[in-house]
Amino acid sequence: MAIKGIQEFRGMKNNDYKDGFVTYTMKFSIDDTDLESWDDGYLAFSNTELRINDKLLNGLKLEDILNGSSSVNGVEGYLMEVDLWRHEGGVYKEISIEREDRGFLVQRWSLHTNIKENEKPDGYKCYYRKVNTLPRRPIADGARLFGDGELQSVEVIVPKRRLHFFITIPGDRDNGKE
């Protein structure tokens, strides 16, 4: 049984999978809350969703929105969820923040893609490939938050931990940021 599993993962290279390393953390404290340091993402409130480049968010700090000391003009309701992503130096990073009973649950993923043979970053060996993403329409107004090509994903498989998940990555942007 174990040999079959090893053969299957070796065969993944034939299915566009590449070798990488992934790290994952989960906690109830928030750091790295400067919205301008992320390539893209969104904030989901009780009644609407906004992309981080939305004019309503200009000059606001995520930390202030999360703790309630800043409000967003025209937006009513609580901040329920945040998802931010960026690419820097061969590392895809995503942070997901979700409202929970005692605060916000923060999940952070980092996918290292440019690994040299004798390098082994912290984390787990994984296999990854770029995949198509189908942006959904928010229920409230039916407008699309992300247009075609603006939202892309990487599929990640971590055999040692039996994990299979997707990380959002920067897509084509209309504002010139890559």
Q: What tens digit of pLDDT does each residue of 116-131 get? A: 777 777 789 999 999 8
User: Residue 47: its pLDDT value, please?
Assistant: 79
Give the residue with greater pLDDT, 148 vs 72. Answer: 72
User: Residue 85: its pLDDT value, please?
Assistant: 92
- In a domain, residue 100? The reply is yes
- In a domain, residue 90? The reply is yes
Taking residues 98-117, report their average pLDDT.
Answer: 87
Give me the phi and psi of 63, to 5 degrees please: -60, -40
- In a domain, residue 38? The reply is yes
- In a domain, residue 176? The reply is no
Containing domain of residue 83, as a range? Answer: 2-170
> Confidence class of residue 175 from pLDDT cuts 50, 70 and 90?
very low
- In a domain, residue 36? The reply is yes
Q: How many domains does the chain have?
A: 1
pTM to 2 decimal places? 0.78
> Confidence class of residue 1 from pLDDT cuts 50, 70 and 90?
very low
Taking residues 125-144, report their average pLDDT.
Answer: 73
- In a domain, residue 177? The reply is no
Sheet with 79-88: strands ordered across: 49-51, 40-45, 79-88, 91-100, 103-112, 18-27, 124-131, 151-158, 163-170
- In a domain, residue 159? The reply is yes
pLDDT digits (tens, 9 = 90+) for 7-28: 445 555 557 899 999 999 998 8
Give me the phi and psi of 37, to 5 degrees please: -85, 0
- In a domain, residue 142? The reply is yes
Coil, strand or helix at 55:
helix
User: Residue 178: its pLDDT value, please?
Assistant: 32
